[in-house]
Structure 1
Amino acid sequence: MGYDVTRFQGDVDEDLICPICSGVLEEPVQAPHCEHAFCNACITQWFSQQQTCPVDRSVVTVAHLRPVPRIMRNMLSKLQIACDNAVFGCSAIVRLDNLMSHLSDCEHNPKRPVTCEQGCGLEMPKDELPNHNCIKHLRSVVQQQQTRIAELEKT
């Protein structure tokens, strides 16, 4: 399923839009005869219903698909996209080919691992930190250790 067009700065060339989901191509593949390009996930889902090109209805199967030309991949990689975490306050606009590396380091990512600084040192997703209870966590750790010790003493 493609990227939402509204996340991109400027106009996106219509050749970079998936005809199935109307999003910007994500992991694009191409039908060999008609050369129509689709998101890999979109066309794979389409093929579960029928074995034709969604644009011109020519016969196509997953085995026929091939990568899009390098020039199309280059055009996609240069597009400027807003971070997935914009709704959480990130204002970064990055090249599409740098999006994944940005997301792994984005301080606004609610799933970014953070370490509890209240005493237990547990690493957890950032969005779980407000509901975290060190005492409850440490009690659980102690109980697990006690259970393990009891098991080892039995042998």
Structure 2
Amino acid sequence: MAANNNCEYINDKSIPEDLLCPICTDPLEEPLSANQCGHTFCRQCITDTFQTMSQCPTCRHTLTLEDFKPVTLRPFLNQLNQILVKCKSCPETNIQRGNFKDHAIKCMKTIVSCPAADIKCSWTGQHEKMQDHVSICPLVQIQPMITELNATVKQQSEQIHFLYTVLEKISTNYKETCKEYYKAKGAAYCDICKKRFIFNEHEHRLHYCPETDFCSTCVKKYFS
């Protein structure tokens, strides 16, 4: 199964059969082998296959996906890495497959996304045109501020969760003390919206002693 659509094999007919995946018939990618039968497949190929069957696709030996382990034999992996490929984006050829990722990073013709793609910039283009785009992209300019704001929001959310947990523990500790008050009064005023509410109508209210209550409407608004 070809792992990178930006390259293609130069002479796939000359590749030894032992290096080919029986499922996709391409050179093996992240090869996994079953100890029980010794047959080897691409990781993705065998993972997809075992979504619908529980047998080795070659010999029909009953197996589970856990029976397949990564191939670690260095000479075998070296043969796979030394298979020659050519880049689809530029004229460069005779690149060893194991080195293609390094080439793709530097290739000026490779199609890349904007550095601000994570905040919804939809631009894609050749690597050599990236800098021109970055210099005018408004999302790239504000990306550091958004990152900082996200970090602040995360920190504040963790603080709120901490305070909520503390208050919840306090409420639990005073629950027995408050039982008679609930039975005697049956109602309270929300400390946020100031509206009167009945306890049994607000099962999700928050109560913190002494005499502190939040109705379920405010709980959903501020704590959900």
Q: Shorter-chain TM-score category? A: 0.5 to 0.7
- In the alignment, is the contact (CA less than 8 A) between 1:2 and 1:18 conserved in 2? no
Letter in 1 for 2:102: S
Structure 2 residue aligned with 1:120: none
The equivalent residue for 2:91 is 90
Cα RMSD, aligned residues only? 3.4
Is residue 2:64 matched to residue 1:34?
no
CA contact (8 A) 1:53 1:59 kept: yes
- Alpha-carbon contact 1:17-1:25 (below 8 Å) kept: yes
C-alpha deviation, 1:127, in angstroms: 4.2
- Distance across 2 between alignment mates of 1:125 and 1:54: 39
Partner of 1:73: 77
TM-score relative to the length of structure 1: 0.67
Deviation at 1:93, TM superposition (A): 2.4
Matches within 5 A, 1:100-139: 100-111=101-112, 125-127=124-126, 137=138
CA distance in 1, matches of 2:114, 2:99: 20
* Counterpart for residue 177 of structure 2: none
The 3 A distance-change label for structure 1 pair 136 and 44 is closer
Query: Does the 8 Å CA contact 2:34/2:68 hold for their aligned counterparts?
Result: yes
Q: Could you say which residue in structure 2 is the equivalent of 1:46?
A: 49
Identity score, percent: 29
Q: Which SS does the other structure have where 1:60 is aligned? A: coil
Count of residues paired in the alignment: 130
Structure ranking higher on relative contact order (CA contacts 8 Å, 6+ apart)? 1
Q: Hey, what's the Cα distance between the residues in 1 that align with 2:100 and 2:81? A: 9
Post-superposition offset of 1:8: 3.1
Q: Counterpart of 1:105 in structure 2: which amino acid?
A: K
Cα deviation for residue 89 of structure 1 reads: 3.1
Residue 48 of structure 1 aligns to which amino acid in structure 2? Q
Gap regions ≥5 residues in structure 1: 115-123, 145-155
Q: 1:92 Cα shift?
A: 2.9
Higher CA-based Rg: 2
Deviation (angstroms), 1:66? 1.2
* CA deviation string 1:96-140 (max 9, x = no partner): 1111111111111011769xxxxxxxxx6434959x6x87849x9
TM-score of the aligned structures, taking structure 2 as reference length: 0.48
Does residue 8 (structure 1) correspond to residue 10 (structure 2)? The answer is yes
Q: CA deviation at 1:62?
A: 1.5
Query: Quick one: which amino acid aligns to residue 77 of structure 1?
Result: N
Q: Closer, same or farther in 2 for the Cα pair 1:59/1:126, shift >3 Å?
A: same
Q: Give structure 2 stretches of 5+ with no counterpart.
A: 116-122, 146-224
